[in-house]
Structure 1
Amino acid sequence: MTKAQAGILASLPEQGRYVFFTLSEAAAQVQVALKALQGSVDSNKVVVGLGQQVLQALDKRIAPMHEFPPLKGPEFEAPSTPKALCLWLRGNQRGELIEQTAKLAAMLAPAFTLNQVVDAFVHQRSNNGHGRDLTGYEDGTENPQDADAVTAGIATGQGVGVDGSSFWVLQQWQHNYAVFNHMTVQEQDHAMGRRRSDNEELDDAPESAHVKRTAQESFEPEAFLVRRSMPWWSVSPQGVDRSGLMFSAFGCSFDAFEAQMRRMLGMDDGISDALFRYSKPLSGSYFWCPPVAQGKLDLTALGL
C-alpha cells in the first residue's frame, strides 16, 4: 500500500480546481498554516503541493525538489512561474469546490495569500476513463497503470517523510483554436501523432509529432510520468474566452518531465514539438506533495 496522497493515483474527478498561493508571512506563521492544513484535508479530495519557497522558509531541503527551470529551445520556451503552494481540489460539483476554496484560503491566511485559481473539468470521458483535450484528442493514453504508476509517480528509498511523496509539475497551456482549426485533419493528426478518430498512433507521423517527441520508453533512462491533466476554461467578460490544457504530472523526481520538455523544445536535436504550432505554456511550477500517514499529511520531513 502506497503512502501517497490518494488523489494522485485516483482517476480524474469530473471537476477540478487548481488554487495557487503566494507566501506572505514569516516561517512561524507558515508552520501554523501547514499544521492547520495537515489536520483538515482529505487527500482524495485535495491534493497538496508545496513549492520550494515553503521549504526555504522552513529552512528544509527535499533532495529532488527545486524550482521549475526556465527552458528555451530554438523556437519556443517553457516559462518558469514559481508558486508557494497549490491545492488541487477534486469533486463532482463546481459549487462545492468554490465553497471549499474560500474555507481553505481563510484557514491558510495570513501565511499564504490566494494568488490564482484555474477551473478545470473532464471533457468527453471514454469507457477507459480517459478524457479528451479540447482539441478532441484523448489524453493520458500511455499512462502507466497500477504498480507501474506507483513506480513512476511515487518516491521510494529516500527516507522517512519523503518515501510515499511525489514531485508534481503543472503547466497551463493555452490553445490557439484559430490556428488549429485552419489546419487540415491530416495536419492535426500529424501534429499529435495519433488519429483523433480512433486514437491510433501513426507510423508515418513526422519526427515533430507530439507522441514521438514524448514517447516515454524512447528515453534513456525511460521517462515515465503519471499524467493527470485536465482541460481548463476561463470566461472573459469581453466575450473572448481563453482555454487549453492544465498539464499535470506526478513523478518520483522531475527528471522524466525535464527530459521530455527538453525534447519537446528541440533542445537536444533542434526539432520542436508540433504542439507548439497551436498551443503554448503560460506557466511552469514544481511542487512537492508530502506523503500521508494515519490519514493525515506526513510533514515530518519539514519538522512538523
Structure 2
Amino acid sequence: MSNYQKAIFNETTNTFNVTEFTITDWSNVQVLKGSIKKALEKTSNDIDIVVSFGKKLWETLNPAIKPAQLKDFATLQGKNGYSMPATQADLYFRIIGNDTALVLDQTIHIQEAVAKVAEVAISENGFIYKDHRDLTGFVDGSANPKEEKKYPAALIADGEIGAGGSYVFHQKWIHNLAKFNELPQAVQEKIIGRTKPDSIELEGDDMPKDSHVSRTDAKHDGVAMKIWRRSFPYGNAKERGLFFISYACDPFRVDIQLDRMLGNTEDGVSDQIMNYSEAVTGGYSFAPSVEDLTTALQ
C-alpha cells in the first residue's frame, strides 16, 4: 500500500486547515480538473495536503474507478432525540504544517485556484492543544491503531476498487465547554471513559455503557472497527470544538460508531458526550491513491 496520499499519516504537524467546497460549475470537466491540479500545487515544501472528493465529483473525474462503498452522508436521527446533520460537499482539502502563515498561504491558493468552479462551504483552522488534548482537557486519538495496524484500518485493501485510497469522514462539533467544565473531574471521566490526567481507559464496572469510549469502541462480527483519526481542536472567543476527521477502509466502520453514539443500536444507549457537544456538519469523501488521483486529473 505504498501508493496512498502520504499526508494522511503525517503526525508531525501542529497547525491545520480544512476547507470544503461545493462545485458551482459542472459544465467543463477539463476546467474542473485544471482547477484542482492548480490547487494542489504547493506554495511551500513545508506544508502537506490531503485531497478528497464527494461521490458525484469523483465519478465525474474518474468514472472508471468507483469504490464500492463511496456514498454521500445522510442526516442521522437518533432514537433518543440526538441528530447529526449532513452538509455533504464535493471537494475537500486538509492542509497541514508547522507554520500558520504557510498553511494560510496554501489555503488561500487553493480557494483562488478553484474560485471559478467552486465556492467555500466551510473552512476551519485548528491546532495542537497542549499535549494532543481536546479542549475538554482529555487526550484525543488514544484509540488510534498503532504503527503498521493503521494502514489496513485506513486504506482500501489491495485488490479492491480504489486500493490505496481511503474513505474520509469530516464532522465539525461545537462544544459546550461551560456546561462540561462545571462537572467534577470524576464525572467527566465517566462521560469520556478515560482518566483525564493520563488517559488510562476505565475498566470493568468503572466504565459506563454510555461513555464515549464504550460507544465508539465498536466491533462487528468479532472484528474491531478501527479507524484512523486526524481530528483537531479549533476555538476562539465565540466558538470552540473539535473538527473530527477519520480515514477508513470501509465507511461502515464510521457508520457503526455514529449509530452507537446516537443510540440507534439494539441496546438503545446513546453517547453521554452528546449532552455537551453538538455535531453541526457531516460529509463523506474519497481520498484516492496517488496513481488514481493522477489518472483522474489527466
Aligned to 1:128: none
CA drift at 1:124: 1.3
Please say which of residues 74-83 and 102-111 is displaced more in the overlay: 102-111
1:262 & 1:184 partners in 2: Cα distance?
28
2:293 & 2:104 partners in 1: Cα distance?
26
Matches within 5 A, 1:130-279: 131-159=132-160, 162-203=162-203, 204-217=206-219, 220-233=222-235, 235=236, 240-268=237-265, 269-279=267-277
2:136 & 2:10 partners in 1: Cα distance?
24
3-state SS of the aligned residue for 1:8? Answer: helix
Assess if the C-alpha contact under 8 Å between 2:84 and 2:282 holds in 1: yes
1:37 & 1:97 partners in 2: Cα distance?
13
Over the matched positions of the two proteins, sequence identity in percent amounts to 27
Assess if the C-alpha contact under 8 Å between 2:175 and 2:277 holds in 1: yes
User: Unpaired runs of 5+ in structure 2?
Assistant: none
Assess if the C-alpha contact under 8 Å between 1:6 and 1:44 holds in 2: no
Output the aligned Cα RMSD: 2.2
2:59 & 2:46 partners in 1: Cα distance?
24
**AA in 2 matched with 1:197:** P
1:228 & 1:36 partners in 2: Cα distance?
25
TM-score, with length taken from structure 1: 0.88
2:280 & 2:245 partners in 1: Cα distance?
14
1:193 & 1:148 partners in 2: Cα distance?
23
Assess if the C-alpha contact under 8 Å between 1:6 and 1:43 holds in 2: no
Assess if the C-alpha contact under 8 Å between 1:73 and 1:270 holds in 2: no
Aligned to 1:103: 109
Aligned length: 289
3-state SS of the aligned residue for 1:253? Answer: coil
CA drift at 1:85: 0.9
Please say which of residues 30-39 and 264-273 is displaced more in the overlay: 30-39
Assess if the C-alpha contact under 8 Å between 2:136 and 2:181 holds in 1: no
User: Unpaired runs of 5+ in structure 1?
Assistant: 126-130
CA drift at 1:19: 1.1
CA drift at 1:13: 1.6
**AA in 2 matched with 1:276:** M
CA drift at 1:191: 0.3
